Amino acid sequence: MTPAKRAFDVAFALLLIVLLSPFIVVIALLIAICDGRPVFYLSERMKTPDTPFCLWKFRTMRVVANDSGVSTGYKQHRVTPLGRRLRATRLDELPQLLNVLRGDMSFVGPRPPLRCYVESCPDIYARVLEKRPGVTGLATLVYHRTEEKLLSACTNHETGETTYVTRCIPRKARLDLIWARHQSLCYDIRLICQTVIRVFSRRRTVRANRS
């Protein structure tokens, strides 16, 4: 990571934490009141092929004893009503501002993978994780909705894992590597702006569906 990219990440994360802290507190209280504790979901992710870190999110699903892999169709019954709204607008990812400050993540980069997928696809992630994982990125913007549709159709763990490993990971990796070849601070800022536009458009969609 270049010094300019890291400086931007720290400055922007601090600004957002200051501006959004009341909003973050309200979301945390709503989760505690509506869904109980824990408020946060902590997940091991990989910063490099050999270096794990703890990813922070607001909890959006009911807790179970054994959980693994990505969220697929057979897990949807565990998503809480509040969690569904948070996911639709990506507000569940606000706690990742702490990950950005710690240097675990950048604002823009490949989404941080679970250890099991890095071990399943070592050649792919050896290249993808040359760059710091990000909150958003080219693959997130281009492929996220397609990934949601593919995984939502999976009715069991085995089908979900096969779909994710064979269809999602390679396609996202190609997009992540395209971003890596052209990465610049201006390009990152453009992707952040596109992400904000996408989030607000999804919020309008959620409101329209409720009305």
Mind listing the pLDDT tens digit of every residue in the chain (211 residues)? 899 999 999 999 999 999 999 999 999 999 999 999 999 999 999 999 999 999 999 999 988 766 666 766 667 788 999 999 998 888 999 999 999 999 999 999 999 999 999 999 999 999 999 999 999 999 999 998 899 899 888 888 889 899 999 999 999 999 999 999 999 999 999 999 999 998 887 665 555 555 5
Is residue 44 situated within a structural domain? Answer: yes
Give domain status of residue 209, yes or no.
Answer: no
Q: Determine the pLDDT at residue 211.
A: 52
Which helix or strand (DSSP H or E) is residue 54 part of? strand 51-58
CA Rg value for the chain: 17
Structural domain of 60: 3-201
**Contact between residue 176 and residue 128 where contact means Cβ atoms under 8 Å apart:** yes
Q: Is residue 211 part of a domain?
A: no
Among 147, 145, 69, 141, CA closest to 108: 141
How confident is the model at residue 78, as a pLDDT?
Answer: 85
Overall domain count for the chain: 1
Examine residue 206 and state whether it is found in any structural domain, yes or no: no
Place of tokens 């702490």: 98
How far is 95 from 3, CA to CA, in rounded Å? 23
